[in-house]
Amino acid sequence: MRAAGLVLVLMIARALALADQPIGWSVWLPSALIWHDVAIGVLFWIVDRLTRDSKWMWAPYAVIVVWAAVNVPVVRALSSPLTWPMLRATGGPLADSIAYYATPANLIAIALVLVSGAVMPAVVGKLSPAVRSAGVIALRRPSAAR
C-alpha cells in the first residue's frame, strides 16, 4: 500500500506545484505529467517487495514525501524541481530565496503534501478491497480449469 500511496502523494504534489502554471492541453498531457510519479512508485514497490515489506521502507518513503513537499514551492517559482546540482551551486543565496517564497500558500501546499504522505497508505489500504473487486489493481491468475 505504500507504493500506491506514494504515487498518489507525488500526483498531489505535482498538481499543487502546477496549479497556477499555464499548461496547454493535449491528449498526451496526463501521461506526460504522471509517468515519473508512476515510475517512482513502481521502483519503490519493487524494492518494497524485495525487502519483504520491511518496516525500514518507511524511511525512504518519508524522504521521498518530504522531497516532493519541498519541491512544490520550488516548481511554482522556477518551473523545475530542486536538483542536487542546484543545491551545490546556490549555497547561501538559496536560504534567502527560501525565506522569500515562504508564503502562506506555499506553506499550506507543503503541509498538504506532508499530511497526504502521512495518511495516504492507510487510505489506500482501506480502499484496496473495493478497488480490487472492481478489477482495477488486482492481477488475476488464469484459471487452471481450462
Answer yes or no: is 141 within a domain.
no
pTM of the model: 0.79
Structural domains counted in the chain: 1
Answer yes or no: is 146 within a domain.
no
Answer yes or no: is 138 within a domain.
no
Among 26, 41, 15, 10, residue whose Cα is nearest residue 114:
10
**The residue to which cell 530542486 is assigned:** 82
Give per-residue pLDDT as tens, 108-146: 999 999 999 999 988 888 875 666 455 444 444 455 544
Q: How far apart are CA 18 and CA 14, in angstroms?
A: 6
Answer yes or no: is 142 within a domain.
no
Answer yes or no: is 113 within a domain.
yes
Answer yes or no: is 98 within a domain.
yes
Give per-residue pLDDT as tens, 28-50: 888 888 899 999 999 999 999 89
Give per-residue pLDDT as tens, 63-104: 999 999 999 998 888 878 888 887 777 766 776 777 788 889
Contact, 84 vs 132, CB < 8 A? no
**The residue to which cell 514497490 is assigned:** 45
Contacts of 18 (CB under 8 A, 6+ apart): 33, 75
What's the whole-number average pLDDT of the chain? Answer: 83
Q: Would you give the DSSP letter of residue 144?
A: S
| Residue 52 domain boundaries | 2-133
